């Protein structure tokens, strides 16, 4: 798979990265989201230190990811339980 180099700008800094072309839109959206959250923290909390603001963004995104992972795990458990119940019903139906 071929890669190409793009530059994303976060907190007034440019970061060159090599990406797969099909990921470019997603990566640009992520960079824009980080920039937006960063701007919100700077405005809401009058954060002037970019390092502090970036740390707050990282914490917020890590919390969001942890919540999503937990929700996915919960959904997997619910799905497994439902499949197990369906298999029991099928077994009962066949046994009759």
What does the alpha-carbon distance between residue 1 and residue 51 come to, in Å, rounded to a whole number? 35
Considering the entire predicted model, what is its pTM?
Answer: 0.74
Q: CA-CA distances (angstroms) from residue 8 to 4, 32, 57, 78, 84?
A: 13, 9, 16, 39, 47
* Domain limits for position 17: 4-95
Q: pLDDT of 5-63, one tens digit each? A: 999 999 889 999 999 999 999 999 999 999 999 999 888 888 888 898 999 999 999 99
Domain count, the chain: 1
pLDDT at 1 over 80: no
Measured CA to CA, the distance from residue 10 to residue 32 in angstroms comes to 8
């Amino acid at each position: 798979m071929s890669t190409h180099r793009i530059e994303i700008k976060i907190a007034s800094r440019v970061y060159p990265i090599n990406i797969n072309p099909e990921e470019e839109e997603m990566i640009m959206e992520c960079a824009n989201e980080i920039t937006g959250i960063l701007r919100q923290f700077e405005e809401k909390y009058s954060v002037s230190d970019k390092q502090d603001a970036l740390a707050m963004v990282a914490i917020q995104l890590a919390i969001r990811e942890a919540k999503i992972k937990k929700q996915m795990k919960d959904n997997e458990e619910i799905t497994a339980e439902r499949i197990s119940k369906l298999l029991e019903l099928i077994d009962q139906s066949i046994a009759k």
